[in-house]
């Protein structure tokens, strides 16, 4: 997919509007994705993929897709899809100026603090887009005031930032946000286990043995983060030992050993209702771009089986072929034999690999070369003998001299008689 923007920025700039309006209510991972997109624009990185973003941020591809769709709903980016329903273009849209909200945020109203040097005569509003303070009418202040600090208070209280954000929204936008589904990411948020809690869990034999197996998987003694992550998966997500081992094996095989990444994958599986290693394989395949591309090219309404996945892994890992090349081979298979056939497709890809095919242009050049060779070399049409009782022995070929000799001998035999 290609990344575009309507703004020409020579540095990574984060709008105050984004910080004041969008950041407080967004999931932390969604914010990381948006900031990384801004960073890519600053570096003139136009070509991106969900896989590259997930690798950089140590998140799953499913998390990246959910983040992009969330920001699309928020109206700060636009997604374009190709004919295969894949994200082809991503446009970062300019944030709405503060005047569009038709609201102002009432700052903390300070009364009776003349001893501290603060003015008590005026109330100001803060406009995020400009960073300026403007005086507002008492009526507007009374309606939108967030919190107050009294001189008689023993300790000052800070204004509620969520309330400030709510006061900044237009009524229509606020009502729309109520209708949106609530983010359930907090349900799966890991807590920090105390030493007492960890010691009490160690009395569970299965917990202690699970940690030892995880340590052997990682190949180093478990640090604090490793133990906290493993405990969260065992105690909060209630993964079975087999599923935990499959989780670590899956992440390590992808070269991802950081506890943050392992935790995100575990949460993603928990949200998808994964309870067994087989469920995990199905969930993982759903986010595997290579498997999905082959299934779409073949028109399959299911994910590939174990033997079929071996073919795809061979094409991607061993032959190092691009997805577009694999899709082209799948399309030729369908056109040739009218059904999905991984063995037939493998023959095509193996021959292309021998011819050093790396792009679609290489395939076109190979086709032209084959057509030219066919035109130069005429086809030989072999005569097919008739299959009957008179053609069950090798046929002889007689020349004119042979016929003349036989004629002479026949005449000589006639004269003698």
Q: What is the pLDDT of residues 290-323, one digit of tens each?
A: 888 898 899 988 878 889 989 998 998 888 888 8
Yes or no: say if 84 and 40 are a contact pair by the CB < 8 Å rule: no
Percentages helix, strand, coil for the chain (3-state, rounded to 5) are 55, 5, 35
**Residue 364's CATH number:** 1.10.10
Mean pLDDT, residues 92-118:
45
Domain that holds residue 363: 289-376
Mean pLDDT, residues 337-345:
93
Q: Do 221 and 152 belong together in one domain?
A: no
**Residue 32's CATH number:** 1.10.10.10
In a domain, 389, yes or no: no
Radius of gyration of the chain (CA): 36
Q: What is the pLDDT of residue 380?
A: 60
Number of other CB atoms surrounding residue 50 within 10 Å: 22
Q: Do 91 and 7 belong together in one domain?
A: yes
How far is 70 from 63, CA to CA, in rounded Å?
Answer: 10
Out of 95, 124, 146, a domain closes at 95
Q: Do 249 and 293 belong together in one domain?
A: no
- Decide the pairing of beta strands 87-92 and 2-5: parallel
How far is 242 from 277, CA to CA, in rounded Å?
Answer: 7
Q: What is the pLDDT of residue 16?
A: 87
Q: How many domains does the chain have?
A: 4
Q: Do 252 and 201 belong together in one domain?
A: yes
In a domain, 86, yes or no: yes
In a domain, 184, yes or no: no
Number of other CB atoms surrounding residue 18 within 10 Å: 19
Out of 286, 307, 340, a domain closes at 286
Interior/surface letters 251-289, b for 16+ CB within 10 angstroms, e for the rest: beeeebeebebbbbbbbbbbebebeebeebbebbeebbe
pLDDT digits (tens, 9 = 90+) for 352-382: 999 998 899 999 999 998 888 878 766 666 5
Find residue 127's DSSP bridge partners: 132
Out of 95, 130, 162, a domain closes at 95
Q: Do 138 and 206 belong together in one domain?
A: no
In a domain, 154, yes or no: yes
Query: In which band, very low, low, confident or very high, does the pLDDT at 394 lie, cut at 50, 70 and 90?
Result: low
pLDDT digits (tens, 9 = 90+) for 177-201: 334 444 444 557 778 888 889 888 9
How far is 45 from 22, CA to CA, in rounded Å?
Answer: 24
In a domain, 23, yes or no: yes
Q: Do 337 and 279 belong together in one domain?
A: no
How far is 353 from 351, CA to CA, in rounded Å?
Answer: 5
Q: What is the pLDDT of residue 298?
A: 92
What DSSP state is assigned to residue 62? H
Number of other CB atoms surrounding residue 240 within 10 Å: 14
In a domain, 400, yes or no: no
């Amino acid at each position: 997919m290609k990344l575009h923007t309507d703004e020409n920025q020579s540095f990574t700039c984060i709008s105050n509007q984004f910080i004041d309006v969008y950041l407080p209510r967004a999931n932390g991972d969604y914010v990381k994705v948006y900031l990384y997109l801004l960073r890519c624009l600053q570096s003139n990185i136009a070509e991106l993929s969900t896989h590259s973003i997930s690798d950089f941020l140590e998140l799953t591809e499913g998390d990246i897709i959910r983040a992009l769709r969330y920001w699309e709903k928020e109206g700060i980016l636009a997604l374009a899809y190709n004919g295969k329903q894949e994200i082809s273009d991503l446009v970062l849209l300019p944030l709405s100026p503060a005047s569009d909200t038709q609201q102002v945020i009432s700052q903390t109203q300070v009364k009776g603090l003349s001893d501290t040097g603060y003015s008590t005569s005026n109330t100001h509003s803060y406009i995020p887009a400009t960073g300026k303070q403007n005086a507002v009418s008492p009526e507007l202040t009374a309606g939108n005031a967030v919190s107050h600090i009294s001189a008689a208070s023993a300790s000052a209280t800070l204004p509620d930032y969520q309330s400030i954000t709510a006061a900044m929204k237009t009524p229509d936008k606020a009502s729309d946000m109520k209708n949106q589904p609530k983010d359930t990411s907090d349900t799966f948020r890991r807590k920090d286990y105390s030493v007492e809690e960890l010691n009490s869990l160690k009395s569970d034999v299965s917990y202690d043995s699970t940690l030892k197996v995880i340590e052997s998987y990682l190949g180093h003694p478990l640090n604090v983060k490793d133990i906290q992550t493993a405990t969260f998966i065992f105690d909060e997500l209630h993964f079975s030992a087999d599923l935990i081992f499959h989780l670590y094996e899956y992440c390590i095989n992808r070269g991802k050993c950081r506890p943050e990444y392992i935790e995100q994958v575990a949460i993603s599986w928990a949200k998808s209702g994964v309870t067994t290693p087989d469920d995990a394989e199905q969930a993982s395949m759903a986010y595997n771009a290579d498997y999905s591309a082959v299934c779409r090219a073949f028109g399959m309404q299911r994910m590939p089986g174990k033997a079929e996945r071996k073919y795809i892994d061979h094409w991607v890992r061993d032959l190092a072929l691009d997805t577009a090349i694999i899709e082209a081979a799948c399309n030729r298979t369908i056109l040739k034999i009218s059904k999905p056939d991984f063995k037939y497709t493998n023959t095509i890809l193996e021959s292309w690999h021998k011819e050093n095919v790396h792009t679609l242009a290489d395939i076109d050049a190979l086709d032209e070369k084959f057509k030219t060779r066919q035109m130069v070399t005429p086809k030989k049409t072999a005569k097919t003998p008739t299959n009957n009782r008179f053609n069950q022995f090798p046929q002889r070929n007689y020349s004119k001299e042979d016929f003349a000799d036989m004629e002479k001998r026949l005449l000589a035999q006639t004269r003698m008689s």
